[in-house]
Amino acid sequence: MAKLVGDKGAYKGNLRGSPRAFGGLMEGISVEAMNQVSSDWDMFYESFNRRIDTIAEAELLGMTENGVNSPTGSPAMLGSRESGYLDMFPGTKDDAGSTIQFNKATTISGGSTTETLAPQTIGPLVSTTTLMDNRSIVCTTRVKFQPEAAVTTDGAKYLWGWCVDDTAPIATGTDVITLDTGGGIGFFLDASGDLQAFYQAVTADTPIMEDTGVDITVIAASQTWYGLGFRVDWIDASAGTGLMTWYVDDEDAGTGWTKVHSVTGSGTSTGLPMQSTETYSITYTVINGAAGKGADGFFISDLFTAITKPGRLA
């Protein structure tokens, strides 16, 4: 089977109904349904292969950028067709950085009408107590962590996930995720250099963390790209019931996509997010660590998101 997207086997093979595609993450999703014809899923793909020289230009893709802890030293968003990725550079200030969320509508005006262009993701979505009943989402991204130093204390922090609107998902000083009420799900490379799977249901509290087995030693040794993915299958949205699963692909290791954790959730503390009325979108954050332990960049080359249509179970 020829490659469809990416390299080293990423996105390879028939996705429809295959429990092996992405280690099971893409089961039931067919590539041929990308044109939205006869599919249980709505799917969106962003490759970031555009020339971007400023944060303002990056926001034209439908993202909102916010500085965290007043970053200095030329924080930037850079991208090009040649590189094929977006580089989030957090600036040079210790314990400061940048967060982006795909929650900004852009518009094109012509004649007597104004067309709103949604970003190439499933968000932003405003949840309700019933919106996600018996529905699912799947999200994957391809990223490269670029810490200034491979350290296990006070290091740079990276976050990617499906999160409630929040201008500072990572608390500076304490180096932990502090999402607003509504929470989210995703991955977090913490200050100790451990890649964690995280989730938070409703309460504005520290999310629950689950170790993926990937750490800064592995990341520094490979200096390569990682595929990160998660799937959320809701049963009863307001009760937070359903299943959450996380997957990782270390491209340098060549082992393919591997399920690293799964949780059967329930309730406001240990359940699934999107239980009440909150706005959610894809989120990326990078924060420098202490002096000499900053982030030289957070590279993002692909973003795939999908959601099942109402009433059509995955």
Rounded distance between C-alpha atoms, residue 85 and residue 300, angstroms = 5
- pTM equals 0.88
Q: With pLDDT > 70 as the criterion, what percentage of the chain qualifies? A: 84
Give the mean pLDDT of 294-298: 92
Please tell me the distance from the alpha carbon of residue 266 to that of residue 240, in angstroms, as a whole number: 5
Domains of the chain, residue spans: 123-308
CA angle 124, 200, 213 (to 5 degrees): 110
Extended strands (E) in 34-92: 41-46, 64-68, 76-79, 86-89
Q: Which of 32-41, 170-179, 190-199, 240-249 has the lowest mean pLDDT?
A: 32-41
pLDDT at 194: 94
* Confidence band, pLDDT 50/70/90 cuts, at residue 30: low
CA atoms within 13 A on the CB side of 80: 3
Total length of the chain: 314
* pLDDT surpassing 50 at residue 12: no
Task: Give residue 139's pLDDT.
Answer: 96
**Cα radius of gyration rounded to whole Å, the chain:** 18
Taking residues 22-26, report their average pLDDT: 76
The whole-chain average pLDDT of the chain stands at 84
pLDDT, tens digit (0-9, with 9 covering 90-100), for 237-264:
999 999 999 999 988 888 889 999 999 9
% of the chain with per-residue pLDDT over 90 = 54
The distance from CA 225 to its chain's CA centroid, rounded to whole angstroms, is 15
Confidence of residue 314 (pLDDT cuts 50, 70, 90): low
CATH of 123-308, one of 3.10.290, 2.60.40, 3.30.70, 2.60.120: 2.60.120
pLDDT for 232 beyond 90: yes
What band does 117 get if pLDDT is binned at 50, 70 and 90? low
Pairing of the two strands 86-89 and 157-164: unpaired
Whole-number pLDDT of residue 4: 37
* 57: confidence class by pLDDT, cuts 50, 70, 90: confident
Query: Quick one: pLDDT band at residue 35, thresholds 50, 70, 90?
Result: very low
CB contact set of 133 (below 8 Å; sequence gap of 6+): 234, 235, 236, 237
d(CA 128, CA 43): 21
pLDDT at 3 over 60: no
- Taking Cα atoms as reference points, which of 308, 302, 314 lies closest to residue 5? 302
The 3-state secondary structure of 249-292 reads EECCCCCCCEEEEEEEEEHHHHCCCCCCCCEEEEEEEEECCCCC
Q: What is the pLDDT of residue 38?
A: 59
Q: Is the pLDDT of residue 32 over 60?
A: no
Q: Which element (helix H / strand E) includes 56?
A: helix 55-59
Longest dimension (CA), the chain: 57
Alpha carbon distance 95, 12 (integer Å): 39
Q: For residues 203 and 105, what is the distance between their CA atoms, to the nearest angstrom? A: 28
pLDDT-derived band of residue 109, with 50, 70 and 90 as boundaries?
low
Examine the pLDDT at 269 and tell me if it is beyond 60: yes
Q: Which two tokens stand for residue 83?
A: 């590189």
